[in-house]
């Protein structure tokens, strides 16, 4: 694995970077953030990519000023899940109230593959009723819990890879691996696949294995009550997850200019565009911040760590 230099912390000895948590079932993403806030003794902690309480797996958490980098991380995510055919619920998963049950059709793996094919690539997907989508300034899940039924518009999402892992005709359960764009709901995929098969469906289990450039091999278990003998994980450099962005290395003379917020020069490349985000690194390879491309080969500081003044 590529090694990255330690980032210069804006506050001496202040934790800075990303910690990947293997979120257990039963906790909200906010619960995990609160626990890490106490563990590291930091107020400024944020997570990338909310997980429902029942969902386990990769939850990247930013420490200190690294929270400013969350918008620049890659949005694609990967999940392994189990879909239950023949069951419809009000939340599109088994955590919700069951609305209807019926028998699923006799299917072999070939028939399932054909049923899955329309869900690959760019698709239109309607979010679940119990979701974080805003409806007239309020989260859909809040309105759904009051008994409201909303007509949520479909949104464009992309399912890059959709792999059938296993199929149990006796239980009506199939396992999937899904690599998808930000904003994709696996619960909606379960519902829509069930509708396409004419029997209904919902999500039975879900685990996220990759998110925002981090994967489950980097994840740490979350202690229930971290004690004085429990050393928190060493944060990962943000550069681990920013490999998708172009990079600009500073020389020694440029570092002071960058810290003072002065523009730098950066010649465009074939696919560059105005507004493109660029990772800026110190001469030792550690992250110095994020710049945005401007016209005339200029790079404007947007996120500056260790700013002067």
Contact between residue 96 and residue 46 where contact means Cβ atoms under 8 Å apart: no
Q: Rounded distance, CA 216 to CA 78, Å?
A: 10
Structure-block tokens of residue 137: 């300034």
301: Cβ contacts below 8 Å, ≥ 6 apart: 258, 261, 262, 263, 264, 280, 289, 291
Residue 215 half-sphere exposure, CB side, CA atoms within 13 Å?
6
Give Rg (Cα) of the chain. Answer: 22
CA pair distance 55, 37, nearest whole angstrom: 21
Closest Cα partner for 32 from 69, 72, 63, 9?
A: 63
Alpha helices in the chain (DSSP H): 29-40, 109-116, 140-145, 186-196, 252-259
| 52 catalytic per annotation | yes
By C-alpha distance, which of 229, 272, 211, 203 is closest to 70? 211
What are the backbone dihedrals phi and psi of residue 142, each rounded to the nearest 5 degrees, phi first?
-70, -40
Q: Among the options 22, 52, 192, 283, which is catalytic?
A: 52
- The answer to whether 275 touches 293, Cβ cutoff 8 Å, is yes
How far apart, in whole angstroms, are the C-alpha atoms of residue 125 and residue 173? 22
User: What does the DSSP assignment read for 233-299?
Assistant: PPPBPGGGG-TTS-EEE--HHHHHHHHTT--EE----TT--TT-EEEEE-TTS-EEEEEEEETTTEE
Q: Which residues are catalytic?
A: 52
């Amino acid at each position: 694995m590529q090694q990255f230099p330690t980032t210069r912390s804006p506050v001496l000895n202040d934790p800075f970077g990303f910690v990947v948590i293997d979120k257990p079932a039963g906790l909200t993403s906010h619960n995990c953030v609160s626990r890490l806030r106490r563990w590291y003794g930091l107020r400024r902690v944020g997570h990338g990519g909310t997980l429902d309480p029942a969902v386990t797996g990769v939850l990247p958490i930013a420490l200190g000023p690294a929270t400013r980098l969350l918008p620049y991380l890659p949005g694609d995510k990967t999940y392994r899940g189990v879909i239950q055919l023949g069951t419809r619920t009000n939340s599109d998963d088994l955590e919700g109230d069951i609305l209807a049950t019926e028998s699923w059709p006799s299917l072999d793996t070939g028939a399932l593959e054909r049923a899955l094919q329309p869900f690959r690539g760019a698709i239109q997907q309607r979010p679940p009723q119990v979701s974080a989508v805003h409806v007239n300034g309020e989260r859909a899940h809040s309105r759904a819990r009051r008994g409201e039924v909303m007509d949520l518009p479909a949104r464009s999402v992309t399912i890059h890879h959709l792999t059938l892992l296993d199929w149990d005709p006796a239980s009506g359960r199939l396992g999937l691996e899904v690599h998808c764009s930000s904003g994709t709901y696996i619960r909606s995929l379960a519902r829509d696949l069930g509708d396409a098969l004419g029997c209904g469906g919902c999500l039975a289990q879900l685990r996220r294995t990759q998110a925002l450039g981090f994967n489950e091999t980097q994840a740490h278990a979350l202690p229930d009550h971290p004690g004085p003998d429990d050393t928190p994980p060493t944060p990962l450099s943000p550069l681990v997850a920013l490999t998708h962005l172009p990079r600009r290395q500073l020389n020694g003379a440029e570092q002071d200019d960058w810290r003072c917020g002065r523009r730098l020069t950066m010649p465009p490349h074939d696919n560059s565009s105005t507004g493109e985000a660029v990772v800026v690194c110190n001469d030792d390879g550690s992250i110095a911040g994020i710049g945005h491309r401007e016209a005339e080969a200029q790079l404007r500081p947007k996120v500056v760590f260790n700013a002067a003044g």
